[in-house]
Chain A
Amino acid sequence: MTVTLFIPCFVDALFPQAGISMVQILERLGHKIVCPEAIACCGQPAFNSGYWDESRVVAVKVLEQLRDAETVVIGSGSCGAMLKNFYPGLFADTPHEKLAKAVSERTWEFSEFLVDKLGVTDLGARFPHKVTFHDGCHGLRELHIKKPPRALLSHVQGLELLEMTEAETCCGFGGTFAAKFPMISAAMGEVKCASAIETGAEYIVSNDSSCLMQIQGLLSRQGNALKTIHLAEVLNQE
C-alpha cells in the first residue's frame, strides 16, 4: 500500500536516522512511501501551551497534505496522539472538523502499524545487545500502545529485553514543560535514568525520539555510557 510517512520536526532536524529507518523498513515490506514536503510539525508545541490558533495554522497545513493519504504512519507516540486524539478537538466546529476526524482514523503510530495493522512482528533484525524499553506517555496513555513495540523487540535476534521498574513513568520531557520547569523535568528524568541504569541495559529504546532526547541529554550530562536509540533503528539493524 501507499504509506504517507509523517516525520516530526525534531526527527527531521535532530534524529533523521529514525525516519530513514522507518522508510527502509516499510519499503522492505513492499510499501510505497510518500513524505509530503510541506509537513514539518504537527503543531503540538503551540497546542500544549494553550495557543490553539497558532497551532491550527500548522495543523491545517498538515490536514491538507494528508487529505488524500490512504494511511498515515508516524514514528512518534506524541505526534501520533496529536493527530489521532487532539486534532478532532482542535478543529471542533470549524470547516476542517470532518477532515480532522478522517485523518485521525487513518493515522497509525509506527509500531502499532506494523503489528496491529500489518500483522508483522519479525523484521529479521539483529541487535545483539541488552536493551530496556521506555514507554512514552502519549503512546502509552493516549494511544494505548504497550504490546506492539515489545512484540517487535522480542523477535530481534540477539536482543535481550530487560524491563525497568519505571518503564511507564514519565521521562519528564513534556515539550515546553522541559524548558519552563527545568528543575522538575530533570528530577523526573533522573528517576527514569536511574531505573534504566539499574537494569544493566546498554540501550534505552523507545518509539518516541522526544523522550529519548530528554533521557540522552541527562545521561550525557551525567557521563553515563547508557545510550538511547529509536525502535525503528533497532528494527533496521541487520
Chain B
Amino acid sequence: MSTFASQFLQDAGRATDNSDQRRFIRTALGNYEIARDRHKGSFQDWQGARQLAAGIKWEAVNHLDKYLEQFVLKLESRGTKVHWASTGLQARETILQIVRKKKAHSIIKSKAMTSEEIHLNDALEKEGLQVVESDLGEFIVQLRHETPYHIVFPCMHLRRGEISALFQRELGSAPTNDPEELTMIARRVLRKKYITADVGITGANFAIADAGMVSITENEGNARLTAALPKTLITLIGIEKILPRLEDLALFLPMLATMGAGQQLTCYNTLYAGPRQPGESDGPEEWHVVLLDNHRTQLLADTEQRDALHCIRCGACLNVCPIFRNVGGHAYGTTYSGPIGSVITPHLRGLQDWKHLSNASSLCGACTETCPVKIDLHHHLLQNRRNAAQEKPAFLERFAYQIFSLLVTKPALWSLAKKMGRAMQPLHKIIQGTPLDPAKSWTQSRELPRLAPESFKDWWRKRR
C-alpha cells in the first residue's frame, strides 16, 4: 500500500467517525441541491444543454493545439506576455522570475486551483514574499494553514464560530457570529493588501480562443480587485480551460453557476483581454499569462479518458458524491478531490500511488449523472482500477480472483463451496471480530447474512 493510501484510510476513518461533521456537510450540500435543481429548471432542456456543452468541450480538447494557438496569438497581439509551462516546477519558476524582476514584496491572489496544484504559495513564501488570498474562503483556509476542502467552497467544513475564533486569534478581531461582520473583518484586512500589493495573481475559468480573452467568475469581486489594482498581473491557466468561441460563454457561464454553487449566474463575470491599453483608465500595466500543462497532455494522449479534460471545475460531482459527503475533501490528500480528483490524480501524480482513490468508490454513478459536461467519471474509475491491476497486480488479490473464477465456473466446486461454507458458519460466530475473522472488515459494522440451508440451485435441481 502506498503511503498516500494508508494516509487516506486513516483520514477517511477519522472523518467517518465524526458524525456531527458529516451531518453538517450533508445539510449544506442538501441545500445546495435544492438551489441547483431550481436553476437547472431554467434551462429549457437540461440534457440538451449538457450534450451541447460536452460537444463544445470535446471540440476544444480534441483541437487543443489549434485553439491554444489562436488564443495565444490574440492575447499577444494586445501586449500580453504568454509563457508555457510543461511542469509545475516550470510554472513556479516562471512566476518567480516575473516577481523577482518586479522586485515585488507582496502579492495578492484570487482563487486558483492551478496554483494549489503547483504549490505556488509555498514557493512564493520561500522566496520571502508575502502572499494573501483574496477570496474569503481561501483567505480563511490560508489563515488555518490548510488546503481548500472543496474546489468551489474552500472552507465549507467550517462553522461560523470556528471562523470567528480564527479571526480573533489571527487578526485580533472581536468575537462575532454575524456572517456579514465576519466578511467585513476579512475585507478590512484585504482592502489594504489590494492597494499595497506589487503583483496580482489569478486563475481562470475559461480561456476564449477566438477572442483571446480570459473569463473569470466569482461572487465577491475580489478577483476583479486583484486584477485591477496591482501594476503587474499574472494569470495561471491550465491548458484545458479553452473554449473555442466567445459565444460559448452564453452556455457555460450559467451552467457553471448552476452546477457550481446553485446560482443562476455568478455575481461577477469578467473578461480580460489584455494589459491596460493607451487611453484606458484601469487595469495592470503588464499582464503575464502562464499556460500550465503539468501532465495534461499526457491525459490528452489517453483516448479512453481524454474527456476528463472537459472538466470546468464546477464541483458538482463532489457535491453529489456519497464518498465525498462522508469523508470530506481533506481526506483525499489531493488538490482535486471528489470523483474528478479520483479520476485525474493518478494521471497527474502517478497511478500506483493514487489508485486507492479510484478504488474508494462504490461506482454508484451519481457523479457521471450530474456532470454538466458529461465526463464518464465512474467508468474512468473502473479503467484506472484495470490499468493499475494490469500494470502491477497485487499477488494475493489476483490469486483470490483466480480461485473465485474457478469456483463459480465449475458447478461441482461451487456446490462444494456452499456446503463447506454452511458447515463453517457456526464456527464463524466464535471468531467473529477477532483477528482470525476473515470477514472482519464486514462484520465490524454489519451483520453477516446467513447462507441459506437450501440454495437456489439445490431447490431448482430438486424440482426438476
Contacts and interface: CB of A to CB of B under 8 A. Distances in A.
A20 B460 CA distance: 8
Interface string A1-20: 00000010101111111011
Contact of B360 (A13, A38, A173, A177): A177
Nearest to B409: A61
A106 interface: no
A37 B451 contact: no
A137 B367 CA distance: 12
Contacts of A20: 456, 459
Given A20-B456, A49-B397, A57-B409, A218 B368 contact: no
B426 to A, nearest CB: 16
Contacts of B408: 9, 40-41, 58
A141 B364 contact: yes
B447 A216 contact: yes
Interface stretch (A66-74, A113-121, A182-190): A182-190
B366 interface: yes
A129 B33 CA distance: 31
A97 B323 CA distance: 34
A48 B363 contact: yes
Contacts of A189: 445-446
B456 A170 contact: no
Interface string A132-159: 0000011011100000000000000000
Given A16-B452, A51-B393, A54-B398, A137 B364 contact: yes
Most buried by A among B409, B411, B418, B461: B409
Interface stretch (B103-111, B216-224, B382-390): B382-390
Interface stretch (B255-263, B288-296, B399-407): B399-407
A16 B460 CA distance: 10
A15 B453 CA distance: 10
A213 B411 contact: no
A29 interface: no
A199 interface: no
Contacts of B50: none
B364 A181 contact: no
B12 A184 contact: yes
A179 B326 contact: no
A229 to B, nearest CB: 13
Contacts of B382: 47-48, 50
A222 to B, nearest CB: 10
B46 interface: no
A46 B452 contact: no
A127 interface: no
B445 A37 contact: no
Categorize the interface residue count of chain B.
35 or more
Contact of A169 (B322, B457, B458): B322
Contacts, number: 190
A172 B322 contact: yes
A12 B9 CA distance: 33
A35 interface: yes
Contact of B455 (A12, A181, A214): A12
Interface in B396-447: 397-398, 401-402, 404-405, 407-409, 411, 414, 418, 421, 439, 441-442, 444-447
Contact of A16 (B360, B366, B454): B454
B313 interface: no
Contacts of A43: 405
Interface string B29-64: 000000000000000000000000000000000000
A221 B445 CA distance: 7
B240 to A, nearest CB: 25
A169 B407 CA distance: 33
A217 B447 CA distance: 4
A177 B456 contact: no
A13 B425 CA distance: 13
B326 A184 contact: yes
Nearest to A217: B446
B425 to A, nearest CB: 11
Given A35-B460, A172-B322, A221-B447, A185 B362 contact: yes
Most buried by B among A19, A49, A187, A221: A187
A173 to B, nearest CB: 7
B360 to A, nearest CB: 5
Contacts of A188: 322-323, 326, 362
B452 A14 contact: yes
Contacts of A16: 452, 454-456, 458-459
B385 A50 contact: yes
A177 B414 contact: no
Nearest to A185: B362
A178 interface: yes
A91 interface: no
B359 to A, nearest CB: 6
A60 to B, nearest CB: 9
Interface string A56-89: 0110010000000000000000000000000000
Nearest to B413: A40
17 contacts: A12-B455, A13-B455, A20-B459, A43-B405, A46-B405, A50-B386, A51-B397, A58-B405, A137-B365, A170-B322, A170-B364, A174-B363, A183-B17, A184-B323, A184-B360, A191-B322, A191-B326
Q: Nearest 5 pairs between A and B by C-beta?
A: A174-B362, A217-B446, A50-B389, A50-B385, A141-B365
Interface of B: 9, 12-13, 16-17, 22, 26, 322-323, 325-327, 359-366, 368-369, 382, 384-390, 393, 397-398, 401-402, 404-405, 407-409, 411, 414, 418, 421, 439, 441-442, 444-452, 454-461
Given A16-B456, A19-B459, A187-B16, 7 more contacts: A9-B414, A51-B397, A170-B362, A182-B441, A188-B323, A189-B446, A220-B447
